[in-house]
Amino acid sequence: MSERLERRVLQACNAVGTLNEYWGFKSIMGRVWTLLVLRRRPTAQSEVAELLGVSKSLVSSTMTELVGYGLVRQVSEHRNAPYEAVLDIWPVVTDVLRTREWMLLETTRLALESTREELRDQPDSPYDLERLEMLLSMVCAIQGLLRLVLSIRMPGSARALADWIKSVTELIGNLRKLP
C-alpha cells in the first residue's frame, strides 16, 4: 500500500474541499465527497474518518448532510451500510442556486423596489432615483442570468460535459461581436 498515493489523494480531497468552501459549503463536505468519488468501492464512515484524519462524529454529521443534499447515498438501508458518491451533481447545484441564491436576489429586488416607490414621492431627498434604478436593473440582470443557468440541461456524464462546454464556448465566442 503506497504511502505516497494516500498523501496525494488527501491533497486532492483538501483542494476540492477548499474550492467548495469558497462557494459557501463546508470544506469537510467536499473532502468526504471527493474521497468517496475516488474510492473504487463504497466506503464505511469509520474508514473515511481514518483516511481523512478527522473524528468519526464529524464524518457522521457530514454524511447526514451530504445524503440530505443528494450528493452521497448509502448502498443499502442497513444502518452500517457503506456510502458511495453521487457523481451527477448538476441537479444539486441548480437546486441550491434555485433556493438560496434566488431568494436572496428576490429579497434585494423587493427592497430596492420599495425604496423606489418611496423615493418617487420625494424628489429633493439626498438619494438619487436614477442610481437606484441602475442598481435595480443590475439585480434584474443577474436574476436573468441565473434563470438562464437554471434552464440549462447539463449533460449528466462527465465525458459529455466536456463536449458540452466546448460547444458553449464556441457559441459564446460570438458574443464578443455583439456590443
Q: Is 92 in the site for its own copies (CB under 8 A)?
A: no
Whole-angstrom CA distances from 130 to 106, 123, 135 are: 20, 11, 9
Task: For residues 113 and 137, give the distance between their C-alpha atoms in angstroms, rounded to a whole number.
Answer: 11
Q: Give which of DNA, its own copies, none residue 2 binds (C-beta under 5 to 8 Å, depending on kind).
A: its own copies
Residues of this chain, 62-81, that bind its own copies according to CB under 8 A: none
Q: How many CB atoms lie within 10 A of CB 5?
A: 9
Q: Give which of its own copies, DNA, none residue 158 binds (C-beta under 5 to 8 Å, depending on kind).
A: its own copies
Tell me the site size for DNA, rule CB under 7 A: 20
Applying CB under 7 A, the span of 4-12, 73-81, 118-126, 160-168 interacting with DNA comes to: 73-81
Site string for its own copies, 10-49 (x = CB under 8 A): -xx-xxx-xx--x-x---------x--xxxxx--------
Which residues, 6+ apart, have CB-to-CB distance to 91 below 8 Å?
70
How far out from the chain centre does Cα 22 lie? 10
Full DSSP string of 81-99: --EEE----HHHHHHHIII
Q: Is 55 in the site for DNA (CB under 7 A)?
A: yes
- State which of residues 3, 23, 41, 53 lies at the interface with DNA (CB under 7 A): 53
Q: Which of 81, 71, 82, 88 is nearest to 30 (CA)?
A: 71
> By the criterion CB under 7 A, which residues form the site for DNA?
26-28, 44-46, 53-58, 60-61, 63-64, 78-80, 82
